[in-house]
Each structure stands twice: as structure tokens, then as C-alpha cells.
Amino acid sequence: MFIGNVAARAEFGESKMGRVLLAAGDHLYAGLNCFLPGQEHKAHIHADQDKMYVIVEGHGEASVGGEVRPVRTGDMVFAPAGIIHGMKNTGGGNLVVLVVFSPPRTKK
């Protein structure tokens, strides 16, 4: 599978961040989290999943384990399983984040 121009696949929602599935397999999930200015994915924990964020477009603020840092295009953030983490668009433009986690979510 090859996916060109990932940022062009971004989808935004007025009431909450947009989510786009890019790829999902037995051992890995990849998608986009798409934030309009001011939107956030509040701090949360995945007990059994490691998560990686790569900032594709824009800038914002990431939190991992209680530490908060600014992030911008090209930055990567890693949140190991069991560690609280979140993302917020603090800029005036859109924020597009590639999200990869393993193992992938299980359907219930």
C-alpha cells in the first residue's frame, strides 16, 4: 500500500476533531487526527497501546506524562502504553497529525 499526500486526506469537524483511517492491520493502525483552531484531544490513556504522533501540518501543544510542549510540522511525540497523553491545536490554522498505534484497536 502506498498513500500519497497524506495531509490532503484531512477531514475536519466543527464540533470535534476529525479522524481519518489511513491503514489498519493486525499489528498496527495509522490515521489522521485533524484539528481546527482551538480543538483538542483531551488527555487520555491507552493501557495496552503505544502511540506515536507526527505533526504533518500546523502547530499545537502535546502532553505526555504530565509534560506539555509546543509541537510543529515535522515533530514527533511518543506516548508509551499506560502514559497519559493529549494534543491541542493552539495555532490560528489547521493542525493535522499522523497517529500510529500498536497494537491496533480491537472491534467490540
Nearest-angstrom CA–CA distance, 91 and 27: 33
Supply the pLDDT for residue 105. Answer: 77
Report residue 69: phi and psi, to 5°: -140, 150
Least confident of 23-27, 90-94, 101-105: 101-105
SS3 string, the chain, reads CCCCCHHHHCCCCCCCCEEEEEEECCCCEEEEEEECCCCEEEEECCCCCEEEEEEEECEEEEEECCEEEEEECCCEEEECCCCCEEEECCCCCCEEEEEEEECCCCCC
Q: Hey, what domains does the chain have and what are their CATH numbers?
A: 17-102 (2.60.120.10)
Predicted structure pTM score? 0.92
Yes or no: say if 32 and 94 are a contact pair by the CB < 8 Å rule: no
Give pLDDT tens digits for 49-78.
Answer: 999 999 999 999 999 999 999 999 999 999
